[in-house]
Structure 1
Amino acid sequence: MAQLSMTRQRWEELSALLKDEQKLQARFPKVAEYLDMAAGLAGTGDDQADAEFDLRFVHYMTGDRSVSSNPYWDIVESSVDVRNGRRVVDGGRPEGSARLAYAQMLLQATYAYAIPSPETVEWVKSFCGETPIVELGAGRGYWAAQLNKAGLNIEAYDSEPPDKVANVSFPRVVGQVDIWHPVRSLDDFAVRGQTADYTLLLCWPPGWGSQMSSQALNKFEEAEGERLVYIGEPRGGKTGNDPFFEALNARWRLESEDPDYVSWWTDADRAQGWVRR
């Protein structure tokens, strides 16, 4: 686990910011919201660990990309534990905590629903090789940014690019960037070309009856696509719909699953690599 370190100048910046409540609220309202709510929520029972998490949260949520290129991971890394063979963010408690659950909600809206640990980024790189990646439902393009930084060629698309239109899952917030990687619209994807000369990435495609996942997979198959990275929960969970999983079972084969994937303790998501039969 990486130890949190910062320059004296950065420490003084944070100290001054935390002492000025009006400035904190004006520049970083979600950080101010978290600190206000966290004080009244039950933590993990380890006061030192909770304080370290809060410091990481404030440091990385108020810093720019010179502070961290993967702030999501840097915030949660110290809270990762192993449960039943899975790496989960639970703060050292199987049941997590109310404070951590509140942070989860804010972090997922700020960055992405799934956590791109360095190990998972390397796993995606290994599975995709030299093949370009197209991510549909990219949200803020946070995963695309991490994969691009690792040297992968990736294009990101979303029905509601957060820097262009209102996106209920990834709203515009003062003090936060709208996108981490260029995110184009589905209209742009439609004119991209029909040949699926890429690996399709679906990271937390919506569930609960949404047809997004099955439609994306069907079009990928029609374009003769052969490799898929799916990051989400199993059938019946929060991601994907029944036709999506039926198509996977009927026409695809699971080739690889990331053993080091990190999930929130509340979720059952995983990272899988599928190939066309």
Structure 2
Amino acid sequence: MRETQSMAKLTMTSSRWDELTALLRDEPRLRSEFPKVAEYLDMAAGLAGTGDDQADAQFDLRFVHYMTGGSAVSKNPYWDIVEPFVSEHDGRRVVNGGCAEGSARLAFAQMLLQATYAYAIPAPETVEWFASFCAGSPVVELGAGRGYWAAQLTRAGLIVDAYDSAPPDRAGNPSFPGAAGQADIWHPVRDLAAFRTRARSAGYVLFLCWPPGWGDSMSSEALALFEEAGGQQLIYIGEPKGGKTGNDAFFEALSSRWRLDSTDSNFVSWWTDADVAQGWVRI
């Protein structure tokens, strides 16, 4: 059953509308300058939508506008694309277009948006919750990907150092592949060699956003290093134990040596995922 949902219409200047019209009429240019947008439009035409043709058309327009406009049209394009398609479902805020089961079209868009921006969605309310938990403390993000979350947190006034094993602007990163028409990074992202040269004191909040799962030890190793350095606060965004993120050792460490202090009730997830935003403090 579809859930009732208000749909905010996209507004743009007449010059921006003319830019988009010209781009969409010039297929060779679209495929050259924005191949991921062209890929989406090719696929979306043959994929089932939510059942509301007007809503699906609005999503397509937002996708094209923000994906081709970059930071010139929005500082948080990921959120601006999905925000009108957020619904309450089973006590959670999820991007499903008002359809409990979502749609094949949204699922394809999800894959492209996660690779373009980040796996988790930085809703403004979540960014505010994050800043409140940190209470002015600096943040170190490990596994930062494109630094999209780091950019949003920096805009909220936080000091963020971002690191990744394969910064997308300098190394091949299969989770965040490069493509024309999209930013490689949104915030400076340094490699793990730079992280290892940091001072040993952990006077910062550790941020792990969708650390790899399936037995990968990244999350537990990062937490162990943080604990050894005296770390006291952690923000984890990902799925519960047994999901797509984190390994068993990470969750065992949390349950034995950490206390869940805060959960963001306004966190927004894709309907296909079970991720949450949690703030933990050392026992």
TM-score by length of 2: 0.97
Conserved? CA contact 2:49–2:106, under 8 Å: yes
Which of 259, 272, 281 aligns to 1:275? It is 281
Letter in 2 for 1:120: T
Q: Look up the SS of the partner of 2:237 in the other structure.
A: strand
Distance 2:198 2:8 in 1: 41
Letter in 2 for 1:193: A
Q: Give the structure 2 partner of residue 107 of structure 1.
A: 113
Q: Give the structure 2 partner of residue 48 of structure 1.
A: 54
Q: Deviations over 1:57-76 (max 9, x none)?
A: 00000003120000000000
Conserved? CA contact 2:70–2:182, under 8 Å: no
Which of 193, 200, 219 aligns to 1:187? It is 193
Once the two structures are superposed, the pairs formed by residues 223-242 of structure 1 within 5 Å of their partners are 223-242=229-248
**2:28 aligned with 1:22:** yes
Q: Look up the SS of the partner of 1:148 in the other structure.
A: helix
Distance 1:4 1:194 in 2: 48
Q: Look up the SS of the partner of 2:170 in the other structure.
A: coil
Letter in 2 for 1:235: K
Which of 141, 148, 164 aligns to 1:142? It is 148
Distance 1:191 1:80 in 2: 41
Q: Give the structure 2 partner of residue 206 of structure 1.
A: 212
Identity of aligned residues (%): 71
Q: Look up the SS of the partner of 2:97 in the other structure.
A: coil
Q: CA deviation at 1:5?
A: 1.0
Distance 1:261 1:249 in 2: 22
Q: Give the structure 1 partner of residue 255 of structure 2.
A: 249
Q: Look up the SS of the partner of 2:87 in the other structure.
A: strand
Unaligned runs of 5+ in 1: none
- Superposed CA RMSD in Å reads 0.7
Distance 1:263 1:123 in 2: 15
Q: CA deviation at 1:4?
A: 1.5
Q: Look up the SS of the partner of 1:10 in the other structure.
A: helix
Once the two structures are superposed, the pairs formed by residues 89-128 of structure 1 within 5 Å of their partners are 89-128=95-134
Distance 1:135 1:153 in 2: 11
Distance 2:198 2:274 in 1: 33
Distance 2:229 2:198 in 1: 12
Distance 1:259 1:209 in 2: 28
Distance 1:75 1:121 in 2: 17
Unaligned runs of 5+ in 2: 1-6
Which of 37, 40, 46 aligns to 1:31? It is 37
Distance 1:249 1:3 in 2: 44
Q: CA deviation at 1:193?
A: 1.1
Q: Deviations over 1:30-51 (max 9, x none)?
A: 0000000000000000000000
Distance 1:177 1:89 in 2: 23
Letter in 2 for 1:267: D
**2:176 aligned with 1:170:** yes
Distance 1:224 1:152 in 2: 21
Q: Look up the SS of the partner of 1:254 in the other structure.
A: strand
Q: Deviations over 1:134-180 (max 9, x none)?
A: 00000000000000001100000000000000000001101111000
Runs of 4+ in structure 1 deviating by more than 3 angstroms, as ranges, are: none
Q: Give the structure 2 partner of residue 85 of structure 1.
A: 91
Distance 2:72 2:8 in 1: 17
Letter in 2 for 1:17: L
Distance 1:105 1:64 in 2: 18
How many residues are paired up?
277
Distance 1:175 1:66 in 2: 13
